[in-house]
Structure 1
């Protein structure tokens, strides 16, 4: 007989049948006896617990005992013992006792490192629970004590079971459960720690940090306590992850590599001495696969970065493609200045970095790639380039390695292996296979396409069809042109053998520039999963990493078929709508804790986003183009890829004139911001910005009136930053500040952040601090770690201005930990400069270390502006040490690198000009010093505030500042 008290009180026979117990009194009596099976429970306690009103008499209790005995029969004995009763049962027949035994055994297995056994035992234990323990007992002391004890045991077992699951890499299924548990038990630190670990395992590191912060705040608010050492240690561990961006790896290969072992060795050896090697050969000969194998062979100094160039249509996107593959931001917030061009950032990032850069499929952009490769190889001495192309790049130092078709035996082996993969037990006469491969010029791609047909065609039939297909002029030639004809004939033949639904899906798939998920392919191609799988079986599609891809040779042929079918416009419109749906879905997530989960999702579609935008601009599909740019804006900004779409934004604006299209005002303003990214578009972007800025500002103000939200809050902050050096910086400032009561939480947090600087300018430090605190709280509530770092940095500045160096350093370090954890190299460099400024008055050595580290990070990120700020700090140190020549050199280099159009440049420019003035004054060059001070005052006044307010906001003081103020007064 089995007894249950973890839920309603139940008794079951050995065959599973339930024992009828009768009314609630008998159920309560049995539950009380089963709390401690075998132990005597006094009659007065039984009476009091069963009826807290005291109305249950001894006779009534005895009557209930008698009826319970009858119900249980021989399955259990209820004995009278002294002044009470006890039930005689095996403790393991009671679910509560069995739960405690299993939970203890599971915990022991977990401690011994046997997570698999622990998971089984703990699962069995938790399955015994059917509801709240002792659910049939009235509210009483015994019931409360036992229920609390067992509930604590249940939570402990849950935590142990989740711990075991995490050790077995079950984090993906555990996150939803953990979220619910943390919501119900917000002060339970172990649950919070488990959720942090599960999120970290999923790649949602920033959300894990938000969980810690929320737990810390609740503990402080409700218990007045700090997090435990264990939870604090876990938090620190999450923050210490290496922030170095990871370059793109070669595509995963799903088949074995046949017949080119010697070539792999030869190319790898060549790359040890040659810095540019080009694998040369016709399409389908296996250049890409050879480059992948060489890259994975090892033995070459440095890291590896693989760049697929086939999706690019023109050279304008080439630097951005390389920046993206390297894991670097294209331009971030630096929306101006030639020093921050994408090529300049590449040079800065690779200048002292050992790297093998694989550039795949160069032939359609050979001139542009040749120019960029030459620039990078000249300026980056530790860089090596492995290119694949149908023609040489034609630059000095290039070593050509012709890639030949497979030799006869390797070709036969390749065909046999691929045919065996689609047809179990495949066998064929080697001579027939050799004849097929020879007819295909031993080209690997042609062999794979033909082998895929052996699933449905007999080998002799296959050979006969190929003989007919290639009878004219293909087999006797070994020239590149003939091989191109051979490959095209085989692609066409494979295509013609497809069913109509397969051909339709294949030609429609060609609109995807970078491959597609199954969901996107099904939507855009209007097909089903079976058809996609059939195309993969026939080697028309490849599947890797959850995405379908089409080789460029096949894609080019299919694109011709798409246009011939008259479907091009409709399918490209469907493709653009699918991309629009994706970026619209992702946009709100990119401003919240889950942004690290969504960024890779959108980044995987970057090539297709550009393709969809290009089609929408060229069609033109004006509304779709504006909506795509606006919905993708947050992604482009966070990713640092906004410059990659700037030429398209310029072209779009040229098609609509200088007023916002009806109903698209906010989208229009977004487009103007993107078009003005001068690092990508130079003078053309600057002119577009000047023509459209006023209309865009009006459109943005109309979209964000303050009492209701617009659609794209990130644009507000970027608008203010971009207008900092414009004719109306205060107008842009006021627009953002007006959103402090906006219903949109991110805009509200940004408004508090921006308004804090206004209060600083008025020397209202306490009010400014309050605004920054509100911004911090807002960003924390959303989980936006970049916003959190911004607010922490601002609060650190306030603390430093009032002399609280301890708080200043702590806040800066917390912000720095966040940006380093995010891999935000530029923001980390900025914060390190701030740290140096904090340390400089008392710790010159520590300040120098911070500035030097900031300079190194800025160089890795290719950021001239942040490098300038670090050089300015090093110049300050040199000046304090009396090395005037070194200080002047550092200040001068910093001034050359600073972008004058960016709000973050204000402080570095003012400080650098003051530094040069101090150097001149130290040399008694007073006229020169006054000129530098005058320029510093002019820069400070450019933001529309009084110079003293700006200098105070920057935390500056001293004799040099008095000279600046004197220069400002003289200027008036």
Structure 2
């Protein structure tokens, strides 16, 4: 017989039939005896528990026992023992005993690392529960205690089962269940920890941190307690994890792969021993598809990054394309003005990664690709490169793999499969299909284009047109150029089969560098949706993810047709106008709550944005006013995405075309162009010269656009103008321009003005006023939904809290800012916040500070950020100095100083503190002259901020004692 008290009290015969137990008194009696089977329960307790009102006499109890014995029959014995009763059953026949045994075995299996067995045991144990434990017992203190004990064991088993599921990689399935459980048990830290881990496994680091914060607040509000050491350690671990960017995956394929299985294996095996393999062959032979299939094999690498080079017009954009494919912005949301080049950033990001870099379509950039690939392979020992090109890269160590046309059988199979996809029930004489494929040189692209025509043409008609148009004849030994002409003939033939409206739409579509949405394509091409779909049906366009794309070979042919029709300039103008409309529409949304939705919308058009700018600046008739407008409208996007370097050369060229005269009515746009030309690292000395030449004029133009009583058009420019001018000859002028916008009508500018004003209060040693200003900035940014502005304000509020000794608040605010930057994918800003987190911890928790600095350094290296790597190294140097390791501190400070950009506002604090650290090392070694020299350098750097050196030194976090030391040494040196 089996018994159950995990729910209503029930008993079952061995054959599964249920035993009729009778009324509630007998069910309660049986439940009390089964709580601890085999143990004696006193008669007084039985009577009190069954009838708490005291109406059950000893005689009545004996009567209930007798009736229960009759109901159970021979299945169980209820014995009289002393002053009470006990039930004699096998403990494993009682669901509570069986549950506790299996739950214990499940936990043991989990401890031993056998998560699979643990899941099976724990699920079986939990399935024994049919409802609340001891449901048939009347309310009493002892009954409640027993039920609470069992419920706690159930929750423990549930946590163990979820833990086992996480270890088995079932995080997607357990997240909904964990959310519900945490809602029911908000103070149970074990469940909160499991939910944090499951969310992080799904890629939701920010959501996991929010769960911790909500749990922390509930514990404080309801229990007056802090999170446990385990939950706090998990929180710290989540903060320390490098949210590495995801490299671009190979494009997903919609069709089967035909005829090259052996080549895939051979190339994959070659990549195991060779670090550079180049697939060479004529256009349309299938190099790209083969590279995609090889990338999917894996084996010798941890991950793959796929870079499409076909949209690039010249080699200048090559490093930026690689940065974008790796998921790295060219600079951070704070427009890092450091001296690191895009190539240096690539090296920093790839130096320790085991990665296969696929460079597709290198032929038009073969020299530039060769130089960059050679440098990356030389400096990144774990990197492997798979390139596709029509000619070798010519690098020592390059392994060439010629990609041949398909063999006869594979070519016929490819044609039949593709024709069958567009025409149901397709069948044809294999001999005729073979003749078509041979005429197409067995090139996969040509075969696919021809097969697509079988939707409207019979196979015999198709073969007749091929013979006529391509004049295939007996051409066997042809050069690569001749093969290209053969493919060109296939494209021409496919093109000529289009109707006039389809040809017009196709040739106009070639102005899109990175594909287009339906709305953009319809507007620029002057066509309708039916025509676009017809081009997709005929394989002239592809559609995926809501965007239309054109194969590069077809696009090149169509561009020639666009020139022949004399439409290039008019279509280019329509294309550029469409881009201007898009970025103007997106710009205000990028400063509001919708920024996460709009950033990817504009990012998808990045290649077309560059093409439109290039047309306006370098086209036959320079569209000066349009170029200024487009740059200014795109400025917010370029800043957030960190892509200013990609437009810097165009900004320089545009300024050269107008000289130093500000175009009428475009003063703000002119200032934006000057910022982009001077602040981007890729332009080097040229950008610096442009900045010095145009800065004063641009400053006046910006001040005229933002007089304080009315708004300009681009508020983001204001803040960046101040940041860029912090190290210039007139930092106070830039500061005043921004802080003077506190009453302007534009809300983002008002928030930025309060933010900037806070630094002025700090300089005047008025932390209360500074905190009020930063708080107003936070309110303004939050009201708009701007995550980056909110993170900026939270960081400064954390700095004020830390300065007055409130480390707990400083850390909480910094962690809140980290959640926001992680949602934005702002790797560099997260590194900056981690450095600040280390600074807040340094006084009380050296180990925690070291972890924060080390994590910041790792994050900065993965993002290729020189500025924030220098800040992290400075922090590690501080730790080493406090521990008395002068040699390590000097090495870290020196490395930091080499990486610091002297002109950027975010470098002011790290530079000052690094110089002071070197001075302290010199003083500790009794090198007093050297110490004074370093202190003097620190004071000189502080002076460049435009305020008194003492005020700046305090603003960057130095104690009053440290300030006195620096200024005293400087005074003595005089």
Shorter-normalised TM-score: what interval? 0.7 to 0.9
Equivalent residue number for residue 245 of structure 1: 245
Report how far residue 386 of structure 1 moved.
Answer: 1.0
Distance 1:672 1:484, change over 3 A: same
Distance 1:337 1:787, change over 3 A: closer
1 CA distance for matches of 2:468 and 2:614? 41
In structure 1, the gaps of 5 or more residues are 1-166, 172-196
**Alignment check: 8 A CA contact 2:242 2:859 kept:** no
Report how far residue 225 of structure 1 moved.
Answer: 14
**Alignment check: 8 A CA contact 2:333 2:829 kept:** no
Equivalent residue number for residue 436 of structure 1: 436
Report how far residue 340 of structure 1 moved.
Answer: 1.8
Distance 1:520 1:971, change over 3 A: farther
In the alignment, structure 1 residue 950 sits paired with structure 2 residue 946 = no
In the alignment, structure 1 residue 824 sits paired with structure 2 residue 815 = no
**Alignment check: 8 A CA contact 1:599 1:635 kept:** yes
| Residues 135-214 of structure 1 mapped to structure 2, 5 A cutoff | none
**Alignment check: 8 A CA contact 2:209 2:819 kept:** no
Per-residue deviation, residues 439-494 of structure 1 (Å, max 9, x unmatched): 11100111111111111222112112111222267733343222111101111111
Report how far residue 871 of structure 1 moved.
Answer: 0.7
Equivalent residue number for residue 719 of structure 2: 717
1 CA distance for matches of 2:484 and 2:718? 53
Q: 2:789 aligns with which of 779, 787, 790?
A: 787
Per-residue deviation, residues 670-698 of structure 1 (Å, max 9, x unmatched): 11111113411001111111111111111
2 CA distance for matches of 1:419 and 1:598? 39
2 CA distance for matches of 1:285 and 1:905? 51
Equivalent residue number for residue 510 of structure 2: 510
**Alignment check: 8 A CA contact 2:206 2:822 kept:** no
Equivalent residue number for residue 688 of structure 2: 686
1 CA distance for matches of 2:825 and 2:881? 32
Match of 1:307, SS state, is: strand
**Alignment check: 8 A CA contact 1:340 1:864 kept:** yes
**Alignment check: 8 A CA contact 2:319 2:343 kept:** yes
Equivalent residue number for residue 536 of structure 2: 536
2 CA distance for matches of 1:253 and 1:458? 28
Equivalent residue number for residue 730 of structure 2: 728
Q: 2:677 aligns with which of 675, 678, 681?
A: 675
Match of 1:900, SS state, is: coil
**Alignment check: 8 A CA contact 1:336 1:901 kept:** no
Per-residue deviation, residues 626-665 of structure 1 (Å, max 9, x unmatched): 1111111111111111111000111111111112211111
1 CA distance for matches of 2:538 and 2:754? 58
Match of 2:741, SS state, is: helix
TM-score norm. by structure 2 comes to: 0.76
Distance 1:832 1:372, change over 3 A: same
Per-residue deviation, residues 145-203 of structure 1 (Å, max 9, x unmatched): xxxxxxxxxxxxxxxxxxxxxx99xx9xxxxxxxxxxxxxxxxxxxxxxxxx9xx99x9
Match of 2:371, SS state, is: helix
1 CA distance for matches of 2:959 and 2:674? 39
2 CA distance for matches of 1:605 and 1:955? 42
2 CA distance for matches of 1:208 and 1:850? 20
**Alignment check: 8 A CA contact 2:644 2:680 kept:** no
| Residues 402-801 of structure 1 mapped to structure 2, 5 A cutoff | 402-471=402-471, 475-619=475-619, 620-801=622-803
Equivalent residue number for residue 353 of structure 1: 353
1 CA distance for matches of 2:794 and 2:205? 15
Per-residue deviation, residues 241-274 of structure 1 (Å, max 9, x unmatched): 9833221122222111111111111111111221
**Alignment check: 8 A CA contact 2:677 2:687 kept:** yes
2 CA distance for matches of 1:821 and 1:335? 18
Equivalent residue number for residue 890 of structure 1: 892
Deviates more, 1:241-250 or 1:511-520: 241-250
Q: 1:844 aligns with which of 840, 846, 860?
A: 846
Match of 2:683, SS state, is: helix
**Alignment check: 8 A CA contact 2:408 2:442 kept:** yes
In the alignment, structure 1 residue 901 sits paired with structure 2 residue 921 = no
TM-score norm. by structure 1 comes to: 0.76
2 CA distance for matches of 1:840 and 1:242? 21
Deviates more, 1:744-753 or 1:931-940: 744-753
1 CA distance for matches of 2:639 and 2:973? 39
Aligned residue-pair number: 774
| Residues 48-87 of structure 1 mapped to structure 2, 5 A cutoff | none
**Alignment check: 8 A CA contact 1:829 1:857 kept:** yes
In the alignment, structure 1 residue 377 sits paired with structure 2 residue 377 = yes
Per-residue deviation, residues 380-403 of structure 1 (Å, max 9, x unmatched): 122111111111111122111111
Equivalent residue number for residue 274 of structure 1: 274
Report how far residue 333 of structure 1 moved.
Answer: 5.6
Report how far residue 950 of structure 1 moved.
Answer: 0.6
Q: 1:926 aligns with which of 918, 924, 928?
A: 928
Report how far residue 332 of structure 1 moved.
Answer: 2.7
Report how far residue 224 of structure 1 moved.
Answer: 13
2 CA distance for matches of 1:526 and 1:496? 20
Distance 1:210 1:858, change over 3 A: closer
**Alignment check: 8 A CA contact 1:206 1:596 kept:** no
Match of 2:834, SS state, is: helix
**Alignment check: 8 A CA contact 2:338 2:866 kept:** no
**Alignment check: 8 A CA contact 1:592 1:784 kept:** yes
Report how far residue 211 of structure 1 moved.
Answer: 12
Match of 1:841, SS state, is: coil
1 CA distance for matches of 2:282 and 2:386? 17
Equivalent residue number for residue 860 of structure 1: 862
Equivalent residue number for residue 23 of structure 1: none
**Alignment check: 8 A CA contact 1:653 1:671 kept:** yes
**Alignment check: 8 A CA contact 2:350 2:383 kept:** yes
Per-residue deviation, residues 109-161 of structure 1 (Å, max 9, x unmatched): xxxxxxxxxxxxxxxxxxxxxxxxxxxxxxxxxxxxxxxxxxxxxxxxxxxxx
Equivalent residue number for residue 966 of structure 1: 968
Distance 1:853 1:513, change over 3 A: same
Report how far residue 215 of structure 1 moved.
Answer: 12
Match of 2:388, SS state, is: strand
Equivalent residue number for residue 938 of structure 1: 940
1 CA distance for matches of 2:907 and 2:886? 24
2 CA distance for matches of 1:397 and 1:877? 44
**Alignment check: 8 A CA contact 1:405 1:441 kept:** yes
**Alignment check: 8 A CA contact 1:474 1:483 kept:** no
Distance 1:810 1:709, change over 3 A: same
2 CA distance for matches of 1:889 and 1:204? 36
**Alignment check: 8 A CA contact 2:336 2:867 kept:** no
2 CA distance for matches of 1:810 and 1:637? 27
| Residues 32-111 of structure 1 mapped to structure 2, 5 A cutoff | none
2 CA distance for matches of 1:877 and 1:372? 38
Match of 2:600, SS state, is: helix
Report how far residue 336 of structure 1 moved.
Answer: 7.1
Per-residue deviation, residues 802-825 of structure 1 (Å, max 9, x unmatched): 111221122122222322333221
Equivalent residue number for residue 343 of structure 1: 343
Distance 1:207 1:385, change over 3 A: closer
Match of 2:742, SS state, is: helix
Distance 1:474 1:305, change over 3 A: farther
**Alignment check: 8 A CA contact 2:679 2:724 kept:** no
Report how far residue 786 of structure 1 moved.
Answer: 1.3
2 CA distance for matches of 1:728 and 1:542? 54
Match of 2:278, SS state, is: strand
Match of 2:647, SS state, is: helix
1 CA distance for matches of 2:510 and 2:257? 27
Equivalent residue number for residue 99 of structure 1: none
